[in-house]
Structures are given as C-alpha cells and as structure tokens.
Amino acid sequence: MAGNLKGRHFLRLLDFTPGEVRDLLELSATLKRNKRAGVSGRALEGKNIALIFEKPSTRTRCAFTVAAVDEGAHAEYLGKGDIQLGKKETVADTARVLGRMFDGIQYRGFAHRTVEILAEYAGVPVWNGLTDEWHPTQVLADLLTVMEEFGRLEGLALAYVGDGRNNMANSLMVGCAKVGMDVRIVAPANLHPAPELVETAREIAAGTGGKVTVTDSVEEGVRGAHAVYTDVWASMGEESKIEERIALLEPYRVTEAMMEATGRREAIFLHCLPSFHNLETELSQRYPKIREVEDAVFEGPRSRVFDEAENRVHTIKAVMVATLGR
C-alpha cells in the first residue's frame, strides 16, 4: 500500500511510476471505505501541516483540512496576505522556516517553480495543491471517480474538452497515460498542449497500454468516450482573456448532444469545479456565454461532479498518509 512513498514530495504525477499511482488510488479507496464505515485513522496523529494558498480555493483547502483532521493532524491555513512568501522573504527562506515547524506543506499558487523551491528547501514533504502547470491531486480524485463508476481504468477512454494548454489538460494527459487509459485532448488548434508534453505522455502510454490523442475535432475526440471532462475556459488570473476564450471555445461547450455523440449510454460527465453552468454567478451574469457546460448536463443523470469533489478528500488523505503517515 504505497508504503514506499514515505518522505516523498507530491508535485506532479510525472514523478510517480504507474504502480505508485495505482497504490495511491487503492489507498484512497480504502480510506474512503473506512471513513464511510466510521473507522477513523490516526496515521497523521501529532503532525502539523501548513496550507499555503496564494489563490482562492474551496475544494483543495477543505479537502486538505478535513483529511488532516480525520487522521489526527493539525492544519494551519496560510493565506496570501498572511505570510511573507516571495514578498519580504525568499521562497527558499520561508521553506526552511516552515520546514522547522511543520511536518508537511501544501502549496497552491502560480509558478510551478515556487513549489519546486519549497520542496528543495523545506526538508519535509511538499504537496502541490495547484500551480499554473499541474494539478495532480485533482487527477487522483478524477481517476478514483472513474474507477468507482466502471470498476477499472485500463482501456477506458476519457475526452478532455476545452482549453488544452491548462494545468488540468496537462495533468489528465499524464495521469490517464500512467493508468493505461485512452485520453483525448479535444481543443482548438491554438490551445493544444505543448508538443514535448504530448510526446512524454505518449511514451508513458506506450508502456501501460494507454493512448494519447490531441485533436480539434469534437466528433473524433468524444466518439466512444466513457467520460467527458471539461474545465472553465479561463483559469484564475486569466480573467482578461475571457472574451477571447469564449470566441474560441463556444464550439467545445459540453452539451447533451456532445454526450450523445460519445455513443455510450453509460458515459459520465466530469468537471474539477468550480463551474459556469448557469447564470447564477457574478461572472456568468457579466459574460453569459462563458458557460463551458450546459446546465442540463451538469445537473443531469450522467454528472458525477460532486462524487469527484468528495473524492478530493480521500485522495488527498492518501497522498498525506502515504508520504507522511506512520
């Protein structure tokens, strides 16, 4: 059970073997069963965990906090205005200070290099809660959700539809390749992922029986898909690009017709959240076309988005227990 991960950082799924990713998913499933059965763990008893957030978060923050408390740890939230990180103190210095006080550190922010520096200097496990390039804890939750739905991962097809250059597209491409899935990135040509990363994901897939496709054709991309996945069209910090993204991505909105085009009655809809699916948010009232998914799909019988959100707790708990637990 992922016992060989003690002391490791969790920055990208690229840093983990297919077997290690599987172990983390198995451990997540076990921890979820235990929690449902009312069995509480003490694997992190006495540990102190720092949660650095340079960006807002609902799921990641709450999942780290609940997972830590479930296993007996104390979690301390350090928001953007609370600490000196990179402002009056170098990231390396903050890492060394926090590493003397805390047993593990979560970081959510912008540049991936920041979480790498934290990991280089902290001397304790560092977990990536989202950077501009990667969102590895999210993909573990996505894979657990698919596994629960279909009882397996190998050979299943997942179509990610939308902005193919963001941290979710990168992370899904690598995560799905690691577990032998057929992953399709379905995006307009000027929003395709970096070719070097596609090549790396294809090399991984060659060893796991998976497959990696990048296409601008929705029809080709979703045909036969077991899961259709999307994310918001402009990530945090990209608000100035909203109009431009709407123009590019409207044909990639997930609709009931797109779900039908999978040709699979059992196909599910996934989203990392938060989502624009109706006009009940400030931003969707200002930009009514911003919606990356129709409300009918989001609220419909194929949607598994809240199972996926719950699975953030179980998978993040698995990462902390595997890297830091007794």
Binding site for ligand CP (CB under 6 A): 57-60, 130, 138, 272-273
Distance CA 240, CA 233 (A): 12
Choosing from 135, 184, 245, 314, which is the catalytic residue?
135
Distance CA 156, CA 220 (A): 16
**Nearer to ligand CP among residue 137 and residue 262 (C-beta):** 137
Q: Is 138 designated active site?
A: yes
CB of 138 to ligand CP, least distance (A): 5
Distance CA 134, CA 170 (A): 7
Q: Is 182 designated active site?
A: no
Choosing from 12, 59, 61, 272, which is the catalytic residue?
272
Distance CA 307, CA 63 (A): 13
Choosing from 138, 184, 253, 302, which is the catalytic residue?
138
Q: Is the preceding omega at residue 125 within 30 degrees of 0, hence cis?
A: no
Q: Is 312 designated active site?
A: yes
**Nearer to ligand CP among residue 119 and residue 130 (C-beta):** 130
Q: Is 231 designated active site?
A: yes
Looking at residue 45, what DSSP letter applies? T
Q: Is 135 designated active site?
A: yes
**Start-end of H helices in the chain:** 18-36, 59-70, 91-101, 112-122, 136-150, 167-178, 195-208, 218-222, 242-249, 256-260, 282-286, 295-298, 305-324
Tell me if 159 sits within 8 A of 123, measured CB to CB. no
CB of 150 to ligand CP, least distance (A): 22
Distance CA 285, CA 186 (A): 27
Structure tokens at 4: 């060989």
CB of 196 to ligand CP, least distance (A): 25
**Nearer to ligand CP among residue 108 and residue 302 (C-beta):** 108
Choosing from 132, 142, 182, 231, which is the catalytic residue?
231
Structure tokens at 186: 């379905």
CB of 311 to ligand CP, least distance (A): 11
**Nearer to ligand CP among residue 108 and residue 226 (C-beta):** 108
* DSSP count for the chain of H helices, then E strands: 13, 9
CB of 139 to ligand CP, least distance (A): 10
Closest CA to 139 of 323, 11, 268: 11
Q: Is 62 designated active site?
A: no
Choosing from 12, 108, 184, 264, which is the catalytic residue?
108
**Nearer to ligand CP among residue 58 and residue 285 (C-beta):** 58
Catalytic residues: 108, 135, 138, 231, 272, 312
